[in-house]
Chain A
Amino acid sequence: MFRPEDYDIPNADIAWCPGCGNFGIIRALKMALAQLNLPPSKVVIVSGIGQAAKMPQYVKAHMFNGLHGRSLPAAVAIKMVNPQLVVIAESGDGCTYAEGGNHFIHTIRRNPDITNIVHNNQIYGLTKGQASPTTPRGQTTTLQIDGVYVDPFNPIAVAVALDASFVARTFVGYLDLTVEIFKQAIQHKGYALVDVFQPCVTFNKVNTYEWYKQNTYILPEDYDPTDRDRAFKIATDTKKYALGVIYKNPNKPIFEEQLVAYKVDETPIAYRGLKV
């Protein structure tokens, strides 16, 4: 059995601010990997650029830390070439929904069997506090000096609208919930979005731990995530944000399983021609 410490990188020089929500996410991720008993050599963590995107640098597993906004195309390709790997794409809200918005849409359409964890701190961290696509209207920043005057992006609603096969949201302040959702997302066959509310204690003075506690609620145990209409209503309700698995469509075909190259031979492309 693996323990969370088995995914530690010895002497890692972690570049996050003290108190940052990212610490909770890394803890939850290591716990989820351990509880699923996934050997580091089976897991690839793919990320873009940003504070959140530094995640794989602190987790013992394979790492592909690529370009800002481009974690999803990279993750899809890795899964195509080697479907035996567990592929996790992990990045910030700016990285995933702004720079990578096009890929977000099209990865959902493809439905590869990957997990997409988005650190949603509703701000740009690494570039020091500009608005992200999820920053609420009216919030002032060093750049949006009169406040953000465009509507925020609603990733959950977009994912449900695109019939993503697994859509969840959690808040890093609730460790058990987050671990549980990560586990479900990784085990889910198909694309799984987990949007994680993650306070940026340095640049976002509005969306704090306290704010998230007050403005979220956990979906009841008897909630049925396969009811798409209901899920869409919940997704578009931004008065209070639902936490939990909001939507699930387990009947979608898996991208890599439909590829012509695997119709004749199931050996991962990665291993063909190698003595494995």
Chain B
Amino acid sequence: MNEVSVVISGAAGQGIQAVEHLLSNVVKDSDLYVFATKEYMSRVRGGNNSTTLRISCKPVYANIDRIDLLLVLNENAIERHRWRMTTSTIVLGEEKFVKDETNHVVVEFSKIAESFGNRIYANSVATGVLAGIMELNIDALKKNIEQYFVKKGNEVINANVSAALKGYELGRKLGLKLELKKCEEVRKKNLLNGSMAVALGAVAGGCNFVSSYPMSPSTAVFTELAKMSKTHGILVEQAEDEIAAANMVIAAWYAGARGLVTTSGGGFALMCEAISLAGMIETPIVVHLGQRPGPATGLPTRTEQADLNLVLYAGHGEFPRVIYAPGSIEEAYELTAKAFNVADKFQIPVFVLTDQYLLDSYYLVDDLPKMDIERHIVKTDANYRRYTVTEDGISPRGIPGYGEGLVRVDSDEHDEFGHITESSSVRKAMVEKRLRKMNKIIQEALPPKLSGPKDYEVLIVSWGSTYLIVEEALQSFLNHKIAHLHFSQVYPIHPSAKEYFEKAKRVIFIEQNATGQFANLVQQTFLIDTSERILKYDGYAYSVEQIAKAIRERLGV
């Protein structure tokens, strides 16, 4: 057996996330690859949430529909996932939930848990059963359970370990034969999700100030940074609202920090005026925006790629910006770090656009590379002028207290000293100075990545988090002349992209929104036909199967 796809499904509050966390770690410690992603309702108790885990002896990086093993923890779990089940899907759960299914296996999680003193140990039983079925490393199971409950005291730890071991024994006896080949190289890898990657990327990029207001799915980045605040010297403040957060981060850069704001579309909507301020006073800001479906509060816990237009056009007036859209966990790390350098160098807003799917998905990555922290602060002298007009549009940026000069920034149009002006010639010179930066910004843009045959006829275009899903989907088209072009920087678009489009007979955009926002941007940038689009906007992440099917239908192959 090469791969097992396990789905754990139950009510919010039943500890599905605990199983996800524990099992992913046990899998990794058993020398197997794992990919885990969750979908959940916007509620704290009840409903139905699920986690999909792909466990494999080969690398796995993307979401799939297929379920090999469905672990059911509440009554509506099966119905919600029936469309993902096949004739060979095994359904595992308490008798009352699974008895009507053809391939069912009864395990009385709660009863077993109770025999160790408390129903709430059912998570540990479930983790143990799954580990037993796949013959995962029993010591890894023990170790991870102990670590997970370390703050709860010996009694709870021991009860959970015993419950898990009992589950393990049961799982092995079920005779489901789902044992996988192990792979030692996994030991050198790290289990990360997108949120952790963005936070680690921020730290690698020298982030030392974060102010935000909680909003799913971006809050985990905030929490991760708070956890690292002592060891990495990061100023952390939960602002009273997003408006305060964005203004704080801009002022923090002004004073010499490297600041991040992490938010979602609804929160970012409130920050638009501040983005415009950053544009005018040419103070850097890095914004991480974890997308979820809108408009307004939308589907708070689900996923979408529909805020590209928002960040593209956020803020009144005209000023340069950069938008990254990482396609992988590794890129979430690298591009977040890079965002700090680019914001610093060009004194502009830089956006890292992720989404719930990327932020909440885990897989194994190699050690993350060390990133260079490039600071572009000058020591000022007495004649310092903050907005010196330069050829490339970049004025030397000083900070208060470093050097003799005064650092004077003004949201009104201003002259080189930062002083308010209504002079039409100064206005013109300043607009041009600010926009001139775009020349260099475009030159330094990340070119798109092409995969697949060089002599392609069909070009599938994606951006952001769908990258690895499309990559896997295209594995089933190897005999066709189909290539994949992925954009990790969606604005400004690197000029080299145009050639890729022109070479193709057909270009198909895949996006997780209803209007094809990136296709529209490409159309507008290169004046080419981008009308072929595969779009999804139901709030759920694409799966490998869905993308493969959609491409097959389009191409009639």
Contacts and interface: CB of A to CB of B under 8 A. Distances in A.
B411 interface: yes
B159 to A, nearest CB: 35
26 contacts: A41-B405, A41-B406, A57-B419, A62-B400, A62-B407, A63-B407, A63-B408, A63-B409, A64-B254, A64-B281, A64-B409, A65-B412, A66-B251, A73-B243, A73-B247, A80-B252, A106-B239, A259-B235, A260-B236, A261-B229, A261-B234, A269-B233, A272-B208, A272-B233, A273-B375, A274-B256
A106 B243 CA distance: 13
Given A65-B420, A260-B236, A273-B373, 7 more contacts: A73-B244, A77-B249, A103-B240, A264-B233, A265-B233, A270-B400, A271-B402
A189 interface: no
Nearest to A263: B230
Interface string B256-276: 110100000000000001100
A36 B277 CA distance: 32
B257 A269 contact: yes
B237 interface: yes
Interface of B: 206, 208-209, 211, 229-230, 233-237, 239-241, 243-245, 247-252, 254-257, 259, 273-274, 277, 281, 373, 375, 377, 399-402, 404-412, 418-420
A200 interface: no
Question: Which applies to chain B's interface (DSSP): helix, strand, loop or mixed?
Answer: mixed
A270 B257 contact: yes
A235 interface: no
B411 A49 contact: yes
A249 to B, nearest CB: 21
Interface string A40-79: 1110101001000010110011111111001011111110
A67 B247 CA distance: 8
A103 B211 CA distance: 14
A1 interface: no
A41 B408 CA distance: 11
A105 interface: yes
Contacts of A103: 240, 244
Nearest to B244: A73
B255 A78 contact: yes
Contacts, number: 166
Interface string A159-197: 000000000000000000000000000000000000000
B402 A70 contact: no
Contacts of A236: none
Interface residues on A, range: 35 or more
A60 B411 contact: no
A141 interface: no
A220 B3 CA distance: 83
A57 B273 contact: no
A81 B240 contact: no
A112 B229 CA distance: 19
Contacts of A64: 251, 254, 281, 409
Contact of B251 (A73, A84, A264): A73
A82 interface: yes
A81 B252 contact: yes
A78 B237 CA distance: 13
Contacts of B208: 261, 269, 272
Nearest 4 Cβ contacts at the A-B interface: A270-B256, A74-B251, A81-B255, A77-B248
B254 A78 contact: yes
B244 A274 contact: no
A97 to B, nearest CB: 15
B400 A78 contact: yes
Contacts of A72: 244
